[in-house]
Structure 1
């Protein structure tokens, strides 16, 4: 396994999720400040784009320039326009077994969003389902049972890859023409010490994931290929490795959110966060 060093890009945040590279900038959701942030190109500052009362999580972008944001507490998706308006885009609370979580939005406007499925730290894990929101706003449950559906990526041949945090695996689905999901299967089964959070796909077909929920030496961002072989790691001991995305003009920089907290502190809203970067010798796959 090849290891890579990282450097600090931005610091003094609280709990960062949903890293996305869009329109020449890195974007992020900060749970505990309830803000959607757009960072300066050098990481020295950020702009608060919106405050989400229900705490923001997954981010996505529509071709009209508007931003989709998962509101965790009420399991909805908010739509932010370039003019500054904030409106309800979709309500998936009737399909969610827990608070809203990560999301991916395709270039054609299909959104896929996860939810915790249970009260983290207070209930035993139980399965839930992904939710699909089509470009007209129709909401439906898709795919089979999944356990804590988290980060997602879509391959060029229309396969949705999903991190199942509590099943320690990356799961694959075929995307059908209408946006529904079929042929659920295990893409990579991981060691039980690994809890994959957000994921990013590189052009060689590898998936990078953060190993969340640990501050120990196994904390870091890992690269796995289909079948389960781990090929690379960016260590971040002392922080939860949560979200990652490729960015930069050539999508050749891996951006990573590193949140220093414990499960008890997380429930109390206490955390400190930084974003680090690494050159891992690969490029991110373009959005589809």
Structure 2
């Protein structure tokens, strides 16, 4: 499945158990040359308190807490409104024509909720990273089930995100690593966004990144909700008011179904 080109292998173990997922198996399945190939592997499992649980493994095999695009794909697969468990907390999914609407929960701004390595103002962080034409600096940090740092810049396309993304992702300031977003203003209700996703690299789309970036721009007074966020793969619509939860709407699609021999990837 995919959401705006951010693609997933979805394994449905809600009613039929699968062997134990490991970092090695997830990484092997995600490999685009020798596996099935994906940005994230999604595992659906039974849950004691919600309809089911969605687990998310990045292409490097690491398990992460949230994925907005995968949430829309899972809503489409499930086919009915539902509240599910994720590592970042419960989320509510509702399929729509050609996609889904997802309540991603409330954003967090406390330094230890991001988390950061030490106390810091997350509204305008007093940090920066040099680049050839200046510096990428004064970002905002937001946790939307997973950690994001957002740079609001004049031209998102001018930032060498392929070079700076991994540097910022692995900076000691972010003990759980971080997703790196660079965004520029198109209109009072429209942002252009590029994302370096931890464990996956440059991505065509990132749902949680769109959520975090819209929240950051609303807090900075640059845009008003709802916000259209344009990523390389297409558009998402994000609505948020301070004190409330984030509503994300956008497309999702199934690409194909198939089978594989688990032992070949273990």
| Pair in the same fold by TM > 0.5 | no
* Structure having the larger proportion of residues in helix: 2
TM-score (norm: length of structure 2)? 0.29
More strand by share: 1
User: Considering only CA atoms, is the larger Rg found in Structure 1 or Structure 2?
Assistant: 2
